[in-house]
């Protein structure tokens, strides 16, 4: 008899077919997030859950108390801040993620945000399309900030951080400094990256790029005090999770010109509320949490998550177990 799984995340047909060879599939076909009452009903019946934080919310005690058969939650993301690890351990539920397959794609987006913010590309795109170019007399108003040859501070020098450092070093001749839980000898050797404590990194960087996972230690890692340490000409880029930043402090720093601008892939609350002041500031460039969102990479992540799910349910053990 095939074990049952609930697919709560949009899935390519080929990947669904792979899971179907091994498991009986129940699936969320609606728009957006799975409503809690449906999730609770479905989870009571299945051995595996295929999801991401954005589709089913936290995998916590409340949910797991309804999931007596559940053996594995396979996240279609590298981030796993939706996992309550203590509750999952208590209920003997394995959690898996999809590392590595997205490194280069997320690094592309991070760099794109950095360039777009520095050179004000979205703002100046609107300027051209709204027909303002021919009335412009002062070209100085269109100036941006150089990227090449400046100092990039990367907070979180894991595999994605390294892929960003590679672009910065070899594409833009940037000076790389970084802060991380542990020293990264590889990044130091390959990209001449210099390890700094957080305060020194914030003081020295022209660009501060946040790429750290969200954990209890990194919640609001960047707040009022940290923005005060940054240069007034600094640009802040967040491609990690919104909650690594105190968003109100970020808004104040931008409004009071404590920093020059921000490029944001993530927000404290997602989807971001339409009245969030960040959306009104001209020196902020936003995208809707799309770090890994290319067809090729999303398909690779979907397959990796499916392989994890099936590996656990067929007794082989997880390929990418999550440990804290
Ligand atoms: C992830 O996979 O956790 C990232 O947020 C992708 O953007």
Question: pTM for the complete prediction?
Answer: 0.95
Percent of the chain with pLDDT over 90: 94
Q: What are the boundaries of each domain within the chain?
A: 3-101+296-323, 103-286
Task: For residue 292, report the distance from its CA to the centre of ligand 1, in Å.
Answer: 6
What integer pLDDT is reported at residue 264 of this predicted model?
Answer: 98
86 contacts 65 by C-beta, under 8 angstroms: no
- The ligand 1 atom at the shortest distance from the C-alpha of residue 265 is 7
For the cut 60, the answer to whether the pLDDT of residue 181 exceeds it is yes
Tell whether ligand 1 has an atom less than 6 A from the beta carbon of residue 153: no
**79 three-state secondary structure:** coil
Q: Do 3-101+296-323 and 103-286 share a fold?
A: yes
Task: For residue 72, report the distance from its CA to the centre of ligand 1, in Å.
Answer: 20
**Nearest protein CA to atom 7 of ligand 1, as residue:** 291
Which tens digit of pLDDT belongs to each residue from 101-147?
999 999 999 999 999 999 999 999 999 999 999 987 788 999 999 99
Tell whether ligand 1 has an atom less than 6 A from the beta carbon of residue 238: no
Strands (E), the chain: 3-7, 23-27, 48-51, 72-75, 94-96, 151-155, 175-179, 194-195, 207-210, 235-238, 261-264, 284-286
For the cut 80, the answer to whether the pLDDT of residue 240 exceeds it is yes
318 contacts 311 by C-beta, under 8 angstroms: yes
Architecture of domain 103-286: 3-Layer(aba) Sandwich (3.40)
Which tens digit of pLDDT belongs to each residue from 206-238?
999 999 999 999 999 999 999 999 999 999 999
Active site residue 179: no
CA distance 43 to 39: 6
Active site residue 22: no
Active site residue 268: no
Contacts of 11 (CB under 8 A, 6+ apart): 19, 27, 50, 302, 306
Class of domain 3-101+296-323: alpha beta
For the cut 70, the answer to whether the pLDDT of residue 324 exceeds it is no
């Amino acid at each position: 008899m095939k074990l049952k799984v609930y697919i709560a995340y949009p899935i390519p047909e080929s990947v669904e077919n792979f899971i179907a060879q091994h498991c009986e599939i129940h699936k969320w076909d609606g728009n957006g997030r799975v409503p809690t009452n449906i999730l609770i009903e479905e989870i009571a019946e299945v051995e595996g859950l295929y999801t991401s934080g954005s589709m089913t919310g936290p995998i916590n005690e409340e949910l797991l108390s309804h999931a007596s058969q559940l053996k594995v939650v396979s996240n279609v993301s590298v981030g796993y801040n939706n996992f309550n690890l203590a509750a999952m351990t208590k209920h003997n539920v394995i959690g898996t993620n999809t590392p590595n397959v997205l490194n280069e794609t997320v690094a592309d987006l991070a760099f794109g945000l950095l360039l777009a913010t520095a050179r004000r590309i979205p703002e100046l795109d609107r300027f051209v399309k709204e027909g303002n170019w021919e009335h412009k007399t002062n070209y100085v108003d269109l100036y941006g900030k150089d990227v090449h040859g400046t100092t990039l501070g990367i907070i979180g020098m894991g595999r994605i951080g390294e892929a960003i450092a590679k672009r910065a070093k070899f594409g833009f001749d940037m000076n790389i400094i970084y802060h991380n839980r542990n020293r990264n000898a590889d990044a130091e050797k390959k990209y001449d990256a210099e390890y700094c404590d957080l305060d020194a990194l914030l003081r020295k960087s022209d660009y501060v790029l946040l790429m750290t996972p969200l954990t209890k230690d990194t919640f609001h890692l960047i707040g009022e005090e940290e923005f005060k340490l940054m240069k007034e000409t600094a640009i802040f880029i967040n491609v990690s999770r919104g909650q690594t930043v105190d968003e109100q402090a970020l808004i104040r720093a931008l409004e009071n010109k404590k920093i020059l601008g921000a490029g944001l892939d993530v927000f404290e609350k997602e989807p971001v509320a339409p009245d969030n002041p960040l959306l009104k500031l001209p020196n902020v460039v936003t995208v809707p949490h799309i770090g890994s969102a290319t067809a090729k990479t999303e398909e690779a992540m979907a397959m990796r998550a499916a392989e994890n799910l099936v590996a656990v349910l067929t007794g082989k053990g997880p390929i990418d177990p999550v440990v804290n």
